[in-house]
Amino acid sequence: MTDSLLNAIFMVVDFVFDLSIAFDRTRRLSQQVTGSDKIVEVPPDPKPLPPAAQRALAEAEERERTREYAAQAASGIDPVV
C-alpha cells in the first residue's frame, strides 16, 4: 500500500512538472513569434450602437462643431472648414 501511495504522489509531482515545462515552452514560443511574452487580455469587439444612440451621438458632435465654430468666429480666427 505504501508503494502505491508513494507511486501516486510521484505521478502527481511528475504531472505538475510536465505542466510547468509545457507552460514555459509555450511562453518561449510566443516570445519568439511575437517578440513579447506578456499575456494580455483582448477586449471584446464593440457592439454596434442602436439607431437612437447613433442619432444622439451625431447631434452631440454637430453641437460641438457649432460651438467650436462660434468660438473661433468670436475670437476673430478664420474657421477651418
Residue 81 predicted with pLDDT over 90: no
pTM of the model: 0.42
pLDDT (0 to 100) of residue 35: 77
Query: pLDDT by residue (tens digit) across 29-71?
Result: 888 888 776 767 778 888 888 999 999 999 999 999 999 988 8
Distance CA 73, CA 80 (A): 10
What are the residues whose beta carbons fall under 8 Å from the beta carbon of 80, sequence distance 6 or more?
72
Check residue 79 and give its pLDDT: 53
Question: Over 90: is that where the pLDDT of 10 sits?
Answer: yes
Question: What was the pLDDT predicted at 64?
Answer: 95
**The C-alpha cell of 66 is what?**
457649432
Please write down the HEC assignment for all residues of 7-61: HHHHHHHHHHHHHHHHHHHHHHHHHHHHCCCCCCCCCCCCCCCCHHHHHHHHHHH
